[in-house]
Structure 1
Amino acid sequence: MEETTEQWAETSLQNFVKKADAELDVLGNQIPYIPEDNHYVDMGKKDISWWTNGFWAGTLWQLYHFTKDEKYKQAAQNIEQQLDNAFADFRGLDHDVGFMWTLTAVADYKETKSQAAWTRALHAATILAGRYNPKGHFIKAWNPENGLYRNGWVIIDSLMNAPLLYWAQDETHDPKFGYIAKKHVNKIMKYNLRADGSVNHICVFDPKNGQLLETKGGQGYGVGSCWSRGEAWAIYGSALNYKHTHKNKYLNAAKSAAHYFIANIQQTGFIPLVDFRAPKEPVEIDTTAAAIAASGLLEIAKFVPEFEHDLYYDSAIKILRALTAKYIELDPDKMGILTHGSVNYDADHANEKPIIYGDYFYAEALLKVIGKELQVW
């Protein structure tokens, strides 16, 4: 009998769990990011406020939800507690508090009803809401760097941070969190998403009036290009904003970004290039964009009518199968599971390597296929 998609996903997930167990044995209390010479540097010591510091904990919460093995919960809560040091420092925190505490404190609260986790999550949501510019109707992305204040900078990634605000609205019954989220997302829909479904990574607005000043290539090739992970953030982030608001314009945006992504990856075996609008050479891929998009496509498939479902679901499965066939590292002596992730177009030191968020979204997508994911967003 031919193996079903669900059986294939279950097998792939079991392989993931076995490798994650080996990594957990080595990591202990460390917070991983990108392996160097097959070993992780502890971001808890290097930069406790780094935006990816919740992804390993998020992976552990997904595995706990799947297996109910206490070791995953204990390790995830350890990371959550370490992130209290980021709250204490405060200066290093930006809009990515959404990533950091959705995958730690929100996940913890959803699984355990921990009041300490609830408090941390609300603290993070309040920080995120505090970055809102009421005149420009956007949430400022980043903090000052090298004398550049960046008070009007907005990036496509922030669509994924909005769910923290919706969570806070639901938990506190305070609509201000939802008002801020929707105003910010509407700004992105108007300026970061293009009419053809592609995206601008960075839009720079005048912080005094909200007018668009310029767009930037950001982590892609350049102005006017289309960074594939930004496209993946648009797919998944727009779908999540639809999930929380039921506004059709957000689902339509998710579908538009998905169509652009799917059309491009069909040219490259369902694995995206780092940028869809870049020179033909050098050829570099980003498996993290693939994993994020796969999970986002599965999210879209939950919401569209019956006769639209297969386009998004089948495309997600093709991506996951392509990743599993060529880009999974199961050697327990080599840290990282999903290989060939790329931070940005020009990051020679960090391109086509394992990156922790690639592992998270790959596992999350497989769990969605078998219907056993923790719905953390």
Structure 2
Amino acid sequence: MNAAAGMQSSGEIWTWTMDTIRAQAPVIRDHFPHIAQHGRYDRCTPEWWTAGFWPGLLWLVQRYDIRKLMRTLDQQQIEQNQSLLRWARSCEQQLERCLHHPEQVDHNLGLSWLLSGVANYEQTGDLEARRRSLLAANLLAGRFNVRGGYLRAWNFESALMDTRGVTVIDSLMNLPLLYWASLQTGDPRYRALAMAHADTVARELVRQDGSVCHVVEFDHNTGQRQREHAGHAHHVGSAWARGTAWALYGFTLSYAYTAKTRYLELARRIADFFLEQMEERIVPCWDFRAPAEQQHLSDSSATAIAASGLLELSNYVIKSERRRLQRIASIWIDGLYEQYSTRHAGEEGLITGGYVPDMEQRHTQMPIIYGDYFFTEALVKLHGGQGLLTPGLQLHT
């Protein structure tokens, strides 16, 4: 089903989501929100890892708002669209300044630029956006450790680990920037680096039962695996729910770009684990193996990411499995809207109930910008559209 056809049957959730993003845009403008404490989103620097998600939301609205697709915009809405474009491009220009300071950017270059510059180029043909995005891809490729076969995750110093040798499960979500760069330039090296990293993550961070670890440290000189770190998980050996969702979606994306069945098999195994842990819940505990006293700490962003990941995965499986995955994702999105949306609270953000792990448990049960983004992206997919993490691909939806 094409996007325009799907949008014609949109209902309450779709209308509320698009209207809410449009209403909040003049408040957030060209800033970079992360978490909404006390009903208002914070403002982060463009170097912060979540910087791409707000411009990503603006580009999703630009591409898929039903009124735009049906050409029923009035003059006020046309002017509003121009403001959305202006703010999205301003975000991109701020992100470009980070590219001149490579030590201030990390493996999340992929998410930052897929949802900003690449989205701009794919929708408008802006060659400056393409140039910026390819520069970001070069910087991401430059983080590849040849000895270990992985992309370095972080730059900061830590007493717990040598971050020069660290990679993380969420790195998988950044690989489409490298795949896209190969498609754009015809240079296979970007794709080869992305696949080498995906293979290392598969070997070193994915367990036999389909659970994943968040952080693995390598010797940055020899490439030898040193140890696992809990990272955002509760403990070494546990199962961080959002990390599981990142892995489900991330391996699906690598399959989408390479057609290598090993990635599809991994995505399905991790999806099976996620679904087994969820049982009949809409939102999981933040860590599937957290102790009883922390079971009340749920994370709606894990559901939103996994829902969009399942819908991506549904593009590459047989019809009966496709329908099952789509049905589950639809139930989750309906549940997030019914039980966790901000529609009666008058708060910024779309979906509350998010959790950012920290020692003091300060950031609990609130909207998180990536939860909002993936909720919206999943909704777009349920209505026949395509997310922003598969640029250049023609999906069989």
> Which category describes the TM-score, using the shorter chain as reference length?
over 0.9
Indicate conservation of the 8 Å contact 1:202/1:215, yes or no: yes
Deviation at 1:146, TM superposition (A): 4.4
Residue in 2 that maps onto 1:195: 208
Aligned-partner Cα distance in 2 for 1:347–1:324 = 28
Aligned-partner Cα distance in 2 for 1:374–1:343 = 24
134 and 314 in structure 1: CA distance in 2 versus 1, 3 angstrom threshold: same
CA deviations on 1:269-324 (whole Å, 9 max, x unpaired) are 23111000111222111000100000000011110012322332222112112211
Aligned-partner Cα distance in 2 for 1:307–1:39 = 42
Aligned-partner Cα distance in 2 for 1:39–1:244 = 37
Residue in 1 that maps onto 2:254: 241
374 and 188 in structure 1: CA distance in 2 versus 1, 3 angstrom threshold: closer
* 1:285-364 pair list within 5 angstroms: 285-330=298-343, 333-344=346-357, 346=359, 348-364=361-377
Residue in 2 that maps onto 1:86: 98
Residue in 2 that maps onto 1:17: 18
* 1:126-141 pair list within 5 angstroms: 126-141=138-153
Does residue 109 (structure 1) correspond to residue 107 (structure 2)? The answer is: no
% identical aligned pairs: 36
Residue in 1 that maps onto 2:293: 281
CA deviations on 1:5-37 (whole Å, 9 max, x unpaired) are 988863202101111122112122322111232
Aligned-partner Cα distance in 1 for 2:87–2:129 = 14
Residue in 1 that maps onto 2:78: none
Task: Give the alignment partner of residue 216 of structure 1, picking from 226, 229, 232.
Answer: 229
Deviation at 1:89, TM superposition (A): 3.1
Aligned-partner Cα distance in 1 for 2:189–2:14 = 39
Which deviates the most, 283-292 or 31-40? Answer: 31-40
Aligned-residue CA RMSD (Å): 1.8
Does residue 143 (structure 1) correspond to residue 155 (structure 2)? The answer is: yes
- Write out the 4+ residue segments of structure 1 that deviate beyond 6 Å after TM superposition: 5-8
Indicate conservation of the 8 Å contact 1:220/1:345, yes or no: no
Deviation at 1:332, TM superposition (A): 7.8
| TM-score normalised over the length of structure 1 | 0.93
DSSP-derived class of the 1:325 partner = helix
Indicate conservation of the 8 Å contact 2:245/2:274, yes or no: yes
CA deviations on 1:72-98 (whole Å, 9 max, x unpaired) are 222211111111221233321011111
CA deviations on 1:142-192 (whole Å, 9 max, x unpaired) are 113246541111100011000000000010111110110000000001111
Indicate conservation of the 8 Å contact 1:16/1:330, yes or no: no
Indicate conservation of the 8 Å contact 1:202/1:216, yes or no: yes
58 and 181 in structure 1: CA distance in 2 versus 1, 3 angstrom threshold: same
Aligned-partner Cα distance in 1 for 2:284–2:359 = 16
Structure 1: which amino acid aligns with 2:256? K
Which deviates the most, 162-171 or 348-357? Answer: 348-357
Indicate conservation of the 8 Å contact 2:162/2:217, yes or no: no
| TM-score normalised over the length of structure 2 | 0.89
Structure 2: which amino acid aligns with 1:135? R
Unaligned runs of 5+ in 1: none
Which deviates the most, 170-179 or 141-150? Answer: 141-150
Indicate conservation of the 8 Å contact 1:165/1:181, yes or no: yes
